Amino acid sequence: MARPVKLFYVYAREDRPFLERLEQHLALLQRQGLLATWHDGALLPGSDWRRVIRQQLEQAQLILLLVSPAFMASDYCYGVEMQRALERQRLGQAQVVPILLRPVVWEGAPFAHLQVLPANARPISTWANQDAAFAEVVGGLRRVIAYLMEQEDQRVYNRAQQHAYRKGSSSVSTEVLISTPAALTPTLLKRAIERYRKQLRSYEGFATHELARRTAFQRLLEETASAVNLKLIPEQTLPNGLRPDGVLRDVNEFFIRGLWEAKAPHLDLEREVQRKIEAGYPLRNTLFENSRRAILYQDGQRFLFNLDDDSELRDLLTRFLTYSEPQIARFEAAVEEFQDRIPELAARLLEIIQQEATQNRAFIAALNDFTTLCRSNLNPQISQAEIAEMLVQHLLTERLFRTVFDNPDFVSRNVIAAQIEQVIRALTSRAFNRQEFLRSLDHFYLAIEEAARSIRDWTERQRFLNTVYERFFQGFSV
């Protein structure tokens, strides 16, 4: 599924009851993951409200103007937020939709050229059944959201195409796709633990609280994690809203490899762990510690460690930092297995394309049409060799664009991709069987798809897929 569309409300405080009712009617879209709304009611005490509002307005894809007499009279709504919203619409950065709440003269306003909701331009407050008015508004917004998601899908696919097909796209990706663990050698662990003990001793007598001891353990984890190509990110908020003291990720930050939660030495660690479990902490690879004892959960199994004992601390670090969830392990094994095969398969596809380009009339015609489209939409100077490489890369990755984003129409809705599919249908019209050719890659595709499901953030999935895309073809060029 694509990431939710970000919605920003421009409204006057007097119209807050209307906003709250609209939020109720939009709840289903939010539950379906299609929409994420924001208004100034979400501001935290003490925050720089102007900066936060400006930041949210700049990030929004859909901006609603809740039009009323109070809105028109508000210097900030009308003179600041609305003006910036309309400017972003002119630049193609956002979609602005006026919602008529209460009767007011709005003809001649800067937004008067925009289609309003409700569609009959009848303010919501004048409806006998206001729920019906809100339902009509939501129906219109649902169409806008579908349009914005389709546009985003096309931008993602086009970026991947242009990034991979431009000159030099076959060079080795600078992003590491897998994190092959190096060894946590006894010498490395011994020195790291010695530094940790020394830091703890420096706190004796004046710093026994959680923060000081957490800092020492955090440094220990950071040092040892980096030795195995992992990164500890302090206090990163998870997709479910939890905020552990540390999130262990691989160096490219695609996958969560573990969680760390620190507690003060005087607290009952067992009780604190139970509270975290009840709060929803996952137990796939989660470490709880209070600088004296540690409880490690891996796949639901529980392990206890005495942190005053160097050998047990060494065992804890080794177990925590070298653990890999089954789907990640399968993914890494698949990448290792197939990395050398992709150039060979791509070269074989290229031979088939070159052969059909001389013998298959339907393919020749479709290829010529596609070349014309690419030269008008991507690059006027694109060569036949680069066109052939586009076909090869699309054939090998089209499935991933559909499955990683959980959208069967992800590719077909894109103009370039849809045209490529027409060319490929012509390519397969004689003897070439696409499914048969790609069957040997099923294991690789399944491993990527399974690993991608653990990445909740849509943007991170996009970056993950772009990196996979590059690594597919690092050894292949026409």
Domains and CATH numbers, the chain: 5-160 (3.40.50.10140), 166-173+331-472 (no CATH), 186-323 (3.90.1570)
Structure-token match 């303010």, residue found: 123
Question: How would residue 73 be classed by pLDDT, with cut points 50, 70 and 90?
Answer: very high
3-state secondary structure of 100: strand
Edge-to-edge strand list for the sheet holding 256-262:
230-234, 246-250, 256-262, 285-289, 293-298, 301-306
Cβ neighbours of residue 311 closer than 8 Å, sequence gap 6 or more: none
Please count the other Cβ atoms lying within 10 Å of the Cβ belonging to residue 33: 12
**Cβ–Cβ under 8 Å, residues 262 and 219:** no
DSSP 8-state secondary structure symbol assigned to residue 72: H
Q: Calculate mean pLDDT across residues 81-89.
A: 93
Taking the C-alpha atoms of residue 163 and residue 254, their distance in angstroms, rounded to an integer, is 20
**What's the pLDDT tens digit per position in 93-132?**
899 999 999 999 999 999 999 999 998 899 999 999 999 9
3-state secondary structure of 247: strand
CA 153 to chain centre: 13
Average pLDDT, the chain: 82
Structure-token match 């309003």, residue found: 116
Taking the C-alpha atoms of residue 425 and residue 363, their distance in angstroms, rounded to an integer, is 8
Least reliable range by pLDDT among 1-5, 31-35, 319-323, 444-448: 1-5
Does residue 310 have a pLDDT over 70?
yes
HSE toward the beta carbon, residue 362, CA cutoff 13 A: 10
**Cβ–Cβ under 8 Å, residues 163 and 460:** no
Least reliable range by pLDDT among 81-90, 139-148, 469-478: 469-478
> Which of the two residues, 243 and 18, has the higher pLDDT score?
18
**Cβ–Cβ under 8 Å, residues 291 and 216:** yes
Please count the other Cβ atoms lying within 10 Å of the Cβ belonging to residue 348: 12
Nearest to 305 by CA among 284, 297, 315, 321: 315
**Cβ–Cβ under 8 Å, residues 360 and 429:** yes
What is the reported pLDDT for 410?
63
Taking the C-alpha atoms of residue 360 and residue 219, their distance in angstroms, rounded to an integer, is 63
Nearest to 319 by CA among 339, 296, 342, 351: 296
**Cβ–Cβ under 8 Å, residues 295 and 304:** yes
Dihedral of the CA atoms 263, 264, 269, 275 (nearest 10)?
Answer: -50
What is the reported pLDDT for 1?
42
Question: How would residue 260 be classed by pLDDT, with cut points 50, 70 and 90?
Answer: very high
pTM comes to 0.50
3-state secondary structure of 363: helix
CA 179 to chain centre: 19
**What's the pLDDT tens digit per position in 42-59?**
888 887 888 889 989 999
Task: Count Cβ neighbours within 10 Å for each residue of 258-290 and write b for 16 or more, e otherwise.
Answer: bbbbbbbeeeebeebbeebeeeebbbbbbbbbb
Q: Calculate mean pLDDT across residues 380-396.
A: 84
What is the reported pLDDT for 166?
47
DSSP 8-state secondary structure symbol assigned to residue 117: B
DSSP 8-state secondary structure symbol assigned to residue 185: -
Maximum average pLDDT range among 101-115, 266-280, 331-345, 446-460: 101-115
**What's the pLDDT tens digit per position in 175-221?**
444 444 456 788 899 999 999 998 888 776 655 555 667 888 999 99
- Burial label for 408, CB within 10 Å (0-12, 13-18, 19+), is exposed
What is the reported pLDDT for 151?
66
Does residue 11 have a pLDDT over 90?
yes
What is the reported pLDDT for 205?
60
Residue 303 backbone phi and psi in degrees, to 5: -130, 135
Cβ neighbours of residue 197 closer than 8 Å, sequence gap 6 or more: none
H-state helical runs in 339-414? 341-359, 361-377, 384-404
> Which of the two residues, 427 and 255, has the higher pLDDT score?
427
> Which of the two residues, 371 and 340, has the higher pLDDT score?
371
Question: How would residue 425 be classed by pLDDT, with cut points 50, 70 and 90?
Answer: confident
- Burial label for 85, CB within 10 Å (0-12, 13-18, 19+), is buried
Q: Calculate mean pLDDT across residues 289-303.
A: 89
Taking the C-alpha atoms of residue 465 and residue 469, their distance in angstroms, rounded to an integer, is 6
